[in-house]
A and B are shown apart, each in its own frame.
Chain A
Amino acid sequence: MSKQIFFDSKNDLSFKPKRFLGKTVIYLILIFWAIICLFPIYWTVTTTFKAAPDVMKGNLVPWWDFKPKWLGLKSLGLSPDRIFVESTVREEFLKRFWNSMFAAVGSSTLAVLLGSCTAYGLSRFKYRFGFMRNSDISFFFLSQLILPPVVLALPFLVLYKELALLDTRVGLIALYTLTVLPIVIWIMKDQFSSIPTELEEAALVDGLSIWGAFLTIIMPIALPGMVAAFIISLVLTWNEYFFAALLTSSHAKTLPVMVASQTGSQGISWWSMAALSLAAILPLIIIAIILERYIIKGMAAGAVK
Chain B
Amino acid sequence: MSSTETDYLHIVTQDRISPRRRDLGRVMIWGSAAILFVLIVIQSLDQFSSLDFGFTTWRPTLYAYFFWATCLCWAQVILHGEQGKRRLFILPAVLFVISMVIFPLIFALGIAFSSWNLSSPDGRQFNGFDNAREMWTDPFYWNALKNMVWYILAIIPEYIIAFCLAVLLNAQIKARKFFRVAFLMPLMLSPVAVSWMIGKSMLEIRFGPISRLARTLGWDNPSFFGSDEIARFMIMVMDAWTFIPFMMIMILAGLQAIPKELHEAAEVDGAPPWKKFWEITFPLMLPVSITAILIRIIFKLKLADIIINVTSGGPGGATDSVTSFIYREYRDRSNVGYGTFLAIVYLVLIVIFMTFLIKMAERWSKPRY
Contact = CB atoms under 8 A, between A and B. Distances in A.
Is B a genuine binding partner of A?
A: yes
Contact of B201 (A153, A270, A299): A270
Taking residues whose C-beta sits less than 8 angstroms from the other chain, chain A's interface range is 35 or more
A25 to B, nearest CB: 10
B217 interface: no
A72 B34 CA distance: 58
B180 A296 contact: yes
A129 B101 CA distance: 18
B153 interface: no
Given A56-B207, A288-B181, A296 B249 contact: yes
B30 interface: no
B145 interface: no
Interface string B27-53: 000000000000000000000000000
The A interface, classified by DSSP as helix, strand, loop or mixed, is helix
Nearest to B11: A204
A273 B309 CA distance: 13
Interface string A186-229: 00000000000100110010000111001000000000000000
B89 A125 contact: yes
A185 B322 CA distance: 28
Size category, B interface: 35 or more
Given A43-B197, A148-B301, A239-B189, A33 B165 contact: yes
A300 B96 CA distance: 27
Given A159-B104, A239-B191, A285 B185 contact: yes
Nearest to A283: B188
A89 interface: no
Interface string B73-94: 0000000001001111110111
Contacts of B298: 145-146
A259 B207 contact: no
A274 B209 CA distance: 14
A150 B188 contact: no
A34 B111 contact: no
Contact of A177 (B96, B104, B339): B96
Given A151-B105, A154-B330, A302-B295, A197 B346 contact: no
B196 interface: yes
Interface string A156-182: 111100111000000000110110010
Contacts of A260: 192, 195, 308-309
Given A122-B89, A159-B104, A292-B181, 5 more contacts: A117-B93, A150-B322, A154-B340, A154-B343, A210-B11
